[in-house]
Structure 1
């Protein structure tokens, strides 16, 4: 029997600063798991206010929910607009994996 005094955990409730939101999304992006990344963007959008994010990104609120649902295949331009609406930037950094090292070694031969 479920305890009615317990509330459902929502990470959005704890992402109360731009730094926390950026860290959360950065960790999700590092996984390379697209459904997880879309969910993380949705969590951050909820923390920011989904209606406001949709308005600033120039996307309908319902469309934004659909864009960020599991199995969606959003256009990169839409994701960039959502990041902009969230006040966040994407960045790239070198990967330091064994696979990258092996690829560089193979190219050197």
Structure 2
């Protein structure tokens, strides 16, 4: 007999736990950028910042931890300068290529 599992009993998935290398981060960010969704990009940068250490990224970007959490929460639409500061702090660069 198959045992039923309740959705509420499943562990919560946290992408930050799976971003263990620079290559993982670059691939994840590239996939998210291909989706062309600014809110998803903000959330992905939040995942990456949490994987690297939110306090460290906040300090390196010149933002407070609270402001960083707010700007990079799912559904957020941060200003481009915030995205740029976070990318610089993370050591990643957004580039343009012909589609």
**Structure 1 and Structure 2 fold alike (TM over 0.5):** yes
1:43-102 C-alpha deviation (Å, 9 max, x unpaired): 11111111111010000000001111244332211111100111111111101xxxxxxx
TM-score normalized by the length of structure 1 = 0.77
Structure 1 runs (4+) greater than 4 angstroms displaced:
none
Count the aligned residue pairs: 93
Gaps of 5+ in 2: 1-5
Tell me the distance in 1 between the aligned counterparts of 2:16 and 2:42. Answer: 14
TM-score normalized by the length of structure 2 = 0.85
Q: Report which of the two structures shows the higher radius of gyration computed on alpha carbons.
A: 1
Q: Which has the higher contact order (CA 8 A, sep 6+)?
A: 2
Gaps of 5+ in 1: 96-109
Corresponding residue for 1:15? 19
